[in-house]
């Protein structure tokens, strides 16, 4: 079915927020309370919300939050955080999502932010719009009763237990220092800090209110289960390796707890802080941040690179017009990107380039999956090492 004759796509007005909340509740199975909805309206505005209507009935919504994100090398790049995307179950398979996204992304393109970001409830939706997964997280369960740290791990000297009031003054500054050095992380808006420390019942998922431990260069916010012998970590932020090691020793020392549950990047040091590196069990693997490069030149010139290199990259964008053929010349870590008519050394879809952009996903992996073509192995090696980073990227906060 098509939507051309029956569905109207338009920018929302201030009178449409009840309809937005209704669609969100049906899509994600959670009614927004008045506080949550008010916070969302602070993060964005009606002009950043696109809606689909069937007559007077709301049937689709997509919005974005203006934000920025750290890219490899530490540059803060403007981005659009796409969120609250849904189509009513009464109107599926009618092309409504594509029409909303087309309208929304034309606006994003005109606004000029080089990157668009989102978090995906399903992995099969957004690639056709040029998005690719940019970060990965491991769900880890650690049986802390058997956790022994090897003798070279620095002792705990700088960790304190703190209350929420003190945490509200300390944590934002620590997070800011971490975010500025961590590719994939976004600044956390003041309203999200307010939500975090308000610690409302609907955010606890049956667990206790938040507990906090703090280091000068890190913090952990966690909850305990009233029915199970476990700790569930909500945020683990470490600016330095020493803070990371000290805070893990404190977490593993919590009495009356058997297990600790945490999500972390796949290259975290935890297994090798322990005498038994098998003790942390990976119970899940999921993507977090997805990225679409809106402006290839601006995006590639914003990040840094580990090697000097030169290659011609052909980028296919099946959704908008960000694609083309680009000469990428890297010197002293910085890229100069220009459009060219030269024959490509590599061909790639925009979704794959967007996945490679933050460094977590390697060109060799996509080549092995037949999703990246290069003229020869040398060209593949050049592209691979150019986009590689020392650490995996990490998303800052879920939007």
Among this protein's residues, is 357 annotated catalytic? no
Q: How far apart are the C-alpha atoms of 381 and 377, rounded to whole Å?
A: 6
Burial status of residue 15 (CB atoms within 10 A of its CB: 0-12, 13-18, 19 or more): exposed
* Distance from the first to the final alpha carbon of the chain: 32
Concatenating the DSSP letter of every residue in 233-262 gives EEEEEESSHHHHHHHHHHHTT-TT--EEEE
Residue 96 assigned as binding residue = yes
Concatenating the DSSP letter of every residue in 60-82 gives EEEEEEEEEEE-TTS-EEEEEEE
Residue 292 assigned as binding residue = no
- Write down how long the chain is: 399
**What are 259's strand-pairing partners?**
143, 230
For 379, the token pair is 């060209």
Residue 86 assigned as binding residue = yes
**Annotated catalytic residue within 126, 131, 175, 366:** 126
Cα of 346 vs its chain's centroid, Å: 27
Residue 116 assigned as binding residue = no
Collect all residues with Cβ–Cβ distance below 8 Å to 33 and sequence separation of at least 6.
200, 202
Residue 49 assigned as binding residue = no
Collect all residues with Cβ–Cβ distance below 8 Å to 367 and sequence separation of at least 6.
373, 374, 380
For 319, phi then psi, to 5°, come to: -110, -55
Residue 23 assigned as binding residue = no
Residue 85 assigned as binding residue = yes
Among this protein's residues, is 126 annotated catalytic? yes
Residue 166 assigned as binding residue = no
Residue 95 assigned as binding residue = yes
Q: Which of 307, 360, 316, 313 is nearest to 337 (CA)?
A: 313
**Annotated catalytic residue within 101, 129, 131, 399:** 399
For 155, the token pair is 């002792």
Residue 268 assigned as binding residue = no
For 121, phi then psi, to 5°, come to: -75, -25
Residue 98 assigned as binding residue = yes
Q: Which of 368, 358, 347 is nearest to 396 (CA)?
A: 358
Backbone angle region of 45, left / alpha / beta, with phi > 0 → left and psi within -120 to 50 → alpha: beta
Q: Which residues form the catalytic set?
A: 126, 399
Binding positions: 85-87, 93-98, 121-122
Annotated binding site for acetyl-CoA: 85-87, 93-98, 121-122
């Amino acid at each position: 079915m098509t939507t051309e004759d029956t569905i109207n796509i338009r920018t929302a007005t201030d009178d449409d927020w009840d309809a937005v909340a209704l669609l969100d509740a049906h899509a994600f199975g959670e009614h927004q309370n008045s506080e949550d909805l008010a916070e969302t309206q602070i993060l964005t505005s009606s002009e950043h919300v696109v809606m689909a209507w069937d007559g007077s009935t709301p049937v689709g919504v997509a919005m974005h939050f203006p934000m920025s994100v750290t890219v490899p090398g530490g540059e803060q790049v403007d981005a659009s955080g796409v969120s609250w995307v849904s189509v009513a179950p009464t109107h599926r398979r009618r092309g409504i999502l594509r029409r909303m996204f087309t309208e929304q992304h034309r606006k994003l393109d005109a606004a000029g932010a080089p990157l668009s970001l989102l978090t995906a409830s399903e992995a099969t939706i957004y690639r056709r719009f040029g998005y690719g997964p940019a970060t990965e997280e491991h769900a880890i369960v650690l049986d802390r009763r058997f956790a022994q740290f090897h003798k070279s791990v620095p002792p705990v000297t700088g960790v304190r237990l703190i209350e929420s009031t003190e945490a509200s003054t300390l944590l934002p500054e620590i997070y800011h220092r971490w975010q500025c050095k961590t590719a994939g992380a976004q600044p956390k808006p003041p309203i999200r800090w307010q939500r975090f420390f308000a610690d409302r019942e609907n955010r606890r998922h049956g667990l206790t209110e938040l507990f906090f431990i703090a280091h000068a260069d890190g913090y952990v916010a966690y909850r305990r289960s009233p029915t199970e012998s476990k700790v569930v970590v909500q945020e683990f932020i470490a600016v330095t390796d020493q803070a990371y090691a000290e805070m893990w020793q404190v977490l593993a020392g919590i009495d009356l707890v058997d297990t600790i549950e945490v999500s972390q990047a796949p290259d975290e040091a935890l297994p090798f802080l322990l005498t038994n590196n098998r003790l942390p069990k990976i119970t899940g693997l999921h993507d977090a941040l997805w990225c679409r490069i809106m402006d290839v030149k601006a995006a590639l010139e914003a990040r840094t690179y580990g090697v000097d290199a030169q290659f011609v990259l052909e980028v296919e964008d099946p959704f908008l017009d960000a694609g083309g053929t680009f000469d990428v010349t890297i010197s002293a870590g910085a890229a100069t990107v220009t459009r060219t008519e030269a024959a490509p050394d590599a061909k790639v879809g925009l979704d794959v380039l967007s996945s490679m952009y933050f460094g977590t996903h390697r060109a060799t992996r996509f080549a092995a999956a037949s999703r990246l073509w290069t003229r020869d192995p040398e060209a593949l090696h050049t592209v691979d090492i150019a986009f590689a980073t020392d650490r995996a990227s990490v998303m800052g906060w879920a939007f």
